[in-house]
């Protein structure tokens, strides 16, 4: 099995394209099973956030796996294969490992160093686990990526400049409302639409900024009430959304709705207003722009308005962590590839010994049970001693760059049949759950 990452992000696609590619929580399990049912895809994890959609897969062939994944993405999004290809990036094996670690560390985020991606990656991993589409290879990749992300935040100052996409959006809102002075937003009435992960992050960020009074609304009232209670905010029934909009200066909309929740008429009636649309698909209708007194800031706008980038030294420190962890993971991966081959070699040796013992028993029936046992122990000791040094050494060599050739060489020399599925499932664990 080989690792493959196929994705699109704010760097390669506009919001309209990301909206079509994005997976709702209800749709995700279906697509996961569809992907893992493809001919060349053995394992899969899908990361779908407000500014990226990525498929991490263990595949039996690069071109076949890429074709399978692109076909599923094209079918899901309704985007033609040629058009979709222009927005996709592809990472294979070592590059896929490096990309996943950089994503987890926040180096590839719109706001470099933001920690929210860790929770999103964890959710993606858990979704794949629940759908039974993550095998041993992706279990290890995801666990190690999450550990790398934690290291980046614990050991460097990567997250000091920009905490999240919400922070960046609030800074842009400050330009519109207070000449860029973030502290001047304190005391401004605000509304958060949506009580999911992004909504909760928005409430926490607005609370820290002193924005308020703060209201929260959600189609499911119970979640809004729990979130409001946790932050001293006020839960508003979703049916009273228009009234809450009219009483707000700042609105953060982050629902998982399939269709826009804020249309032109609704926003025009609530002006003046600054709307931070952090949802994908967008919560603000495409035609709800150019309204007097209403400023809409969406993910696409944030991509061109990024501020508060971490210092070069902090970014370099995280890159060093990523590089070291990539080397460690690849060494383990190369070593893991040899394990089923060594096991197959030992099994072949045991089979040969067993066959010879059966022949001896038929030729020398006068041997006692004790004598046969002693011969058996002697033969096994000889085989074990002969195999010990070569198998230890081949494991060491396999962990070095280019080490994958040793597993193939052993299989060729001893005519060993090691199915790909066995090689993939024999991967040993090298770390705890992140």
Predicted pLDDT of residue 397: 75
Predicted pLDDT of residue 392: 78
Q: Model pTM?
A: 0.65
Predicted pLDDT of residue 310: 53
Of 275, 269, 22, the closest CA to residue 124 belongs to 22
Predicted pLDDT of residue 164: 65
pLDDT digits (tens, 9 = 90+) for 138-156: 999 999 999 999 999 899 8
pLDDT band at 51 (very low <50, low <70, confident <90, very high): confident
- Match 């820290």 to its residue by tokens: 208
Q: Which residues pair with 142 in a beta bridge?
A: none
What value does the mean pLDDT take over residues 335-349? 79
Q: Which of 158-172, 300-314, 335-349 has the highest mean pLDDT?
A: 335-349
- pLDDT tops 60 at residue 334: yes
Predicted pLDDT of residue 88: 97
Predicted pLDDT of residue 432: 37
Catalytic residue among 50, 148, 166, 235: 50
Predicted pLDDT of residue 308: 45
Clarify whether 70 is annotated catalytic: no
Strand order in the sheet with 89-92: 41-48, 52-59, 2-9, 89-92
pLDDT band at 345 (very low <50, low <70, confident <90, very high): confident
What value does the mean pLDDT take over residues 394-406? 70
Q: Which of 136-140, 278-282, 427-431 has the highest mean pLDDT?
A: 136-140
Q: Which of 113-117, 247-251, 377-381 has the lowest mean pLDDT?
A: 113-117
Predicted pLDDT of residue 425: 43
Pairing of strands 2-9, 52-59: antiparallel
- pLDDT tops 70 at residue 305: no
Q: What is the DSSP letter of 182?
A: G
Predicted pLDDT of residue 37: 95
What value does the mean pLDDT take over residues 322-345? 81
| Residue range 165-303 in CATH 3.30.360.10 | no
The CATH architecture to which 2-155 belongs is 2-Layer Sandwich (3.30)
pLDDT digits (tens, 9 = 90+) for 177-229: 776 676 778 889 999 999 987 888 889 888 988 898 999 999 999 999 999 99
Q: Which of 175-179, 191-195, 272-276, 333-337 has the lowest mean pLDDT?
A: 333-337
- pLDDT tops 70 at residue 309: no
* Residue 276 parent element (H or E): strand 273-277
Residue 373, classified by CB atoms within 10 Å of its CB into exposed (0-12), middle (13-18) or buried (19+), is exposed
What value does the mean pLDDT take over residues 399-419? 75
Predicted pLDDT of residue 225: 95
- pLDDT tops 80 at residue 172: no
Between CA 72 and CA 69 the distance in angstroms is: 5
- pLDDT tops 70 at residue 377: yes
Predicted pLDDT of residue 104: 95
Task: Tell me how far CA of residue 409 lies from CA of 308, 415, 418, in angstroms.
Answer: 52, 10, 12
pLDDT digits (tens, 9 = 90+) for 74-100: 999 999 999 999 999 999 999 999 999
pLDDT band at 289 (very low <50, low <70, confident <90, very high): confident
- pLDDT tops 60 at residue 43: yes
pLDDT band at 401 (very low <50, low <70, confident <90, very high): low
Supply the DSSP string of 322-375, one letter for each residue.
HHHHHHHHHHHHHHHHHHHHHHHHHHHHHHHHHHHHHHHHHH-TT--HHHHHHH
Average pLDDT, the chain: 86
Predicted pLDDT of residue 115: 80
What value does the mean pLDDT take over residues 379-392? 86
- pLDDT tops 70 at residue 430: no
């Amino acid at each position: 099995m080989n690792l493959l990452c196929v994705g699109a992000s704010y760097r390669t696609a506009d919001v309209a394209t990301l909206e079509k590619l994005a997976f709702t929580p209800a749709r995700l399990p279906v697509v996961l099973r569809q992907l893992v049912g493809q001919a060349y895809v053995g394992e899969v994890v899908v990361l779908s956030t407000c500014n990226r959609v990525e498929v991490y897969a263990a595949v039996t062939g690069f071109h076949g796996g890429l074709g399978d994944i692109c076909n599923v993405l094209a079918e899901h999004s309704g985007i033609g294969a040629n058009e979709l290809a222009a927005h996709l990036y592809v990472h294979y094996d070592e590059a896929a490992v490096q990309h996943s670690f950089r994503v987890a560390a926040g180096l590839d985020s719109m706001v470099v160093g933001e920690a929210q991606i860790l929770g999103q990656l964890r959710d993606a991993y858990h979704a794949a686990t629940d759908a039974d589409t993550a095998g041993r290879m992706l279990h290890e990749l995801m666990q190690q990526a999450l550990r790398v992300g934690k290291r980046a935040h614990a050991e460097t100052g990567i997250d000091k400049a920009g905490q999240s996409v919400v922070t960046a959006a609030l800074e842009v809102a400050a330009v519109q409302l207070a000449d860029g002075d973030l502290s001047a937003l304190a005391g401004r009435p605000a509304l958060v639409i949506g009580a999911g992960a992004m909504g909760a992050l928005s409430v926490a960020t607005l609370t820290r900024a002193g924005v308020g009074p703060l209201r929260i609304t959600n189609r499911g009232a119970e979640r809004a009430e729990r979130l409001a209670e946790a932050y001293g905010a006020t839960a508003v029934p979703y049916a009273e959304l228009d009234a809450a909009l009219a009483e707000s200066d700042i609105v953060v909309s982050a629902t998982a709705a399939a269709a826009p929740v804020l249309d032109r008429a609704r926003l025009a009636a609530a002006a003046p207003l600054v709307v931070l649309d952090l949802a994908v698909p967008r919560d603000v209708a495409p035609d709800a722009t150019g309204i007097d007194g209403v400023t809409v800031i969406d993910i696409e706008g944030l991509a061109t308005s990024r501020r508060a980038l971490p210092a070069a030294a902090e970014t370099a420190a995280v890159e060093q962590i990523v590089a070291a962890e990539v080397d460690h993971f690849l060494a383990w991966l190369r070593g893991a590839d040899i394990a089923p081959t060594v096991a197959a070699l030992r099994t072949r040796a045991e089979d040969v010994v067993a066959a010879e013992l059966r022949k001896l028993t038929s030729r020398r029936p006068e041997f006692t049970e004790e004598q046969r046992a002693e011969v058996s122990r002697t033969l096994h000791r000889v085989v074990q001693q002969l195999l010990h040094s070569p198998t230890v050494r081949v494991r060491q060599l396999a962990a070095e760059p280019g080490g994958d050739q040793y597993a193939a060489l052993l299989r060729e020399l001893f005519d060993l049949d090691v199915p790909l599925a066995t090689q993939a499932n024999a991967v040993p664990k090298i770390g705890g759950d992140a």
